[in-house]
Amino acid sequence: MALKTGRSLTAISLKRHKLGIPTRAIIPRYTPGDLRLLGTMPDEELARKLIRHRRNKLGIANFTTEQNKWTAEVDSWLGKFTDREVAGRIGYHPGAIAFRRELLGIAAPPWGKKNKKNIAVNAP
């Protein structure tokens, strides 16, 4: 639900609680084989191994720098367009855009001003 609505899990849980709708706990499902690995290696290593296994089983590719869309051109849009506009163009969450913009020390565009220019169509 959080992914569909763009809201945080906390916001969804609080709203469900306010409406009297029970929340569902997110409990990872471990196989007996997964559980046998507990205590056999550091938690961080085991977590990486289990996540890698689950990702591979679901057919999800590992994130690589090739998939990273932060190019010099995209960085140049930060502060010129709203975080939402940039996010829509490159397929990232607006929060990720804001984080990158703040990391680079770029101020958000002034509120109330709409940038009439369009982001280049041939951009990544």
Tell me the pLDDT band of 87, cut-offs 50, 70 and 90.
Answer: confident
**Model pLDDT for residues 19-76, shown as the tens digit of each residue:** 888 766 666 678 888 889 989 999 999 988 888 888 777 777 676 655 677 889 999 9
Residue 81: how many CB atoms within 10 A of its CB?
20
d(CA 14, CA 21): 10
Strand pairing partners for 78? 81
| pTM for the full predicted model | 0.42
109 touches 80 (CB < 8 A):
yes
Where do runs of H (alpha helix) occur along 59-110? 72-77, 83-90, 94-103
**What integer best gives the mean pLDDT of the chain?**
79
User: Among candidates 15, 107, 20, 124, which has minimal Cα distance to 72?
Assistant: 124
- Calculate ∠ Cα 22-27-32, nearest 5°: 145
- Cα–Cα separations (whole angstroms), residue 108 to 78, 80, 85, 114: 8, 8, 12, 12
- pLDDT at residue 120 tops 60: no
